[in-house]
Chain A
Amino acid sequence: MLADSKTFDLRELLRSGGGTAQTRGVWIALILLIAFGLFRYDNFGSQYNVLSFLNFNSMFVLISIGMCFVIMTGGIDLSVGSVAAFTSVVAALLSSHGLIVAVPGGVLAGMAIGALNAFVILRMRVPPFITTLATMLAAKGGSLVLSGAETIGVDWTTNFTRLGMGSAFGTIPWTILIALAVVIVAWIILERTSLGRIVLAIGGGDEASKLMGLRTERAIVFVYVFSGLCAGLAGVILASAFGAGQPLEGVGWELTAIASVVVGGTLLTGGVGSIPATVAGALLLGLIFNILNFENGRGTISLSAYWQSVIRGNFLLIVIVLQAGLLTQRKARSQDG
Chain B
Amino acid sequence: MTIDPITAPRRWSLPKFDLTTLRQHGGLAALVILLVFNLLVTPNFFELQTLFVNISQVATIAIVAIGMTLVIATGGIDLSVGAVMALSGALAPLIFLSPFGVANPELGLVAAFTLPILAAAAAGLFNGVMVTFLGVQPIVATLILFISGRGIALVLTNGNLQTFTNPAFSFLGTGRILGMPFQGWVALALAILVSWMVRRTVYGRHLLAVGGNEKAARLAGAPVHLVKIATYVMCSAMAGLAGMIVTAINSASDAARNGLLMELDAIAAAVVGGALLMGGRAPIVGAVLGAIVIQLVKFTLLANGVEDEVALIAKAAIIIGAVYLQQTRSE
Binding site for B on A (CB under 8 A): 76, 120, 124-127, 129-131, 133-138, 140-142, 144-145, 149, 252, 255, 258-259, 262, 268-269, 304, 306-314, 316-317, 320-321, 324, 327-328
Cβ of B252 within 8 Å of any chain A Cβ, yes or no, is: no
Binding site for A on B (CB under 8 A): 77, 79, 130, 134-137, 139-141, 143-152, 154-155, 158-159, 264, 267-268, 271, 277, 307-313, 315-317, 319-320, 323-324, 327-328
Q: Are A135 and B316 in contact (CB under 8 A)?
A: yes
B interface, over-half SS = helix
Q: Are A309 and B147 in contact (CB under 8 A)?
A: yes
Q: Are B159 and A137 in contact (CB under 8 A)?
A: no
Closest to A140 in B: B312
Given contacts A258-B143, A311-B151, 19 further A-B contacts (CB under 8 A): A124-B324, A129-B277, A133-B268, A134-B315, A136-B264, A137-B316, A137-B319, A138-B316, A140-B312, A141-B312, A149-B309, A252-B147, A268-B140, A306-B159, A313-B149, A316-B144, A320-B141, A324-B135, A324-B136
Can you show 18 pairs from A to B with CB atoms below 8 A apart?
A125-B324, A126-B324, A130-B267, A130-B320, A131-B320, A133-B267, A135-B316, A138-B316, A140-B309, A141-B310, A258-B140, A262-B143, A268-B139, A269-B137, A304-B159, A310-B148, A313-B149, A316-B143
Closest to B326 in A: A126
Q: Are B141 and A313 in contact (CB under 8 A)?
A: no
Q: Are A145 and B139 in contact (CB under 8 A)?
A: no
7 residue pairs, one from A and one from B, having the closest CB atoms: A313-B148, A141-B312, A309-B151, A144-B309, A306-B154, A138-B316, A134-B316
Determine how close the nearest CB of chain A comes to the CB of B203; give it in whole angstroms. Answer: 26
Cα of A142 to Cα of B311 in the assembled complex, Å: 10
Given contacts A144-B312, A304-B158, contact A130 B144 (CB under 8 A): no
Given contacts A133-B268, A324-B135, contact A127 B277 (CB under 8 A): yes
Note all chain B residues with C-beta closer than 8 A to A304.
154-155, 158-159
Q: Are A127 and B147 in contact (CB under 8 A)?
A: no
Q: Are A320 and B130 in contact (CB under 8 A)?
A: yes
Determine how close the nearest CB of chain A comes to the CB of B279; give it in whole angstroms. Answer: 13
Interchain pairs with CB closer than 8 A, number: 134
Cα of A124 to Cα of B316 in the assembled complex, Å: 14
Cα of A77 to Cα of B307 in the assembled complex, Å: 26
Q: Are B135 and A327 in contact (CB under 8 A)?
A: yes
Note all chain A residues with C-beta closer than 8 A to B135.
324, 327-328
Q: Are B264 and A133 in contact (CB under 8 A)?
A: yes
Closest to A126 in B: B323
Q: Are A141 and B313 in contact (CB under 8 A)?
A: yes
Determine how close the nearest CB of chain B comes to the CB of A204; give it in whole angstroms. Answer: 16
Partner of A310, one of B155, B309, B316, B323: B155
Note all chain A residues with C-beta closer than 8 A to B136.
320, 324
Note all chain A residues with C-beta closer than 8 A to B313.
137-138, 141-142, 145
Note all chain B residues with C-beta closer than 8 A to A311.
148, 151
Cα of A262 to Cα of B137 in the assembled complex, Å: 11
Q: Are B139 and A320 in contact (CB under 8 A)?
A: no
Cα of A311 to Cα of B267 in the assembled complex, Å: 27
Note all chain B residues with C-beta closer than 8 A to A306.
151, 154-155, 158-159
Cα of A321 to Cα of B136 in the assembled complex, Å: 8
Cα of A311 to Cα of B309 in the assembled complex, Å: 33
Note all chain A residues with C-beta closer than 8 A to B143.
255, 258-259, 262, 316
Cα of A262 to Cα of B139 in the assembled complex, Å: 11
Cα of A329 to Cα of B130 in the assembled complex, Å: 17
Determine how close the nearest CB of chain A comes to the CB of B254; give it in whole angstroms. Answer: 13
Determine how close the nearest CB of chain A comes to the CB of B155; give it in whole angstroms. Answer: 5
Q: Are A259 and B147 in contact (CB under 8 A)?
A: yes
Cα of A135 to Cα of B136 in the assembled complex, Å: 27
Determine how close the nearest CB of chain B comes to the CB of A181; give it in whole angstroms. Answer: 29
Partner of B140, one of A135, A140, A262, A327: A262
Note all chain B residues with C-beta closer than 8 A to A259.
143, 147
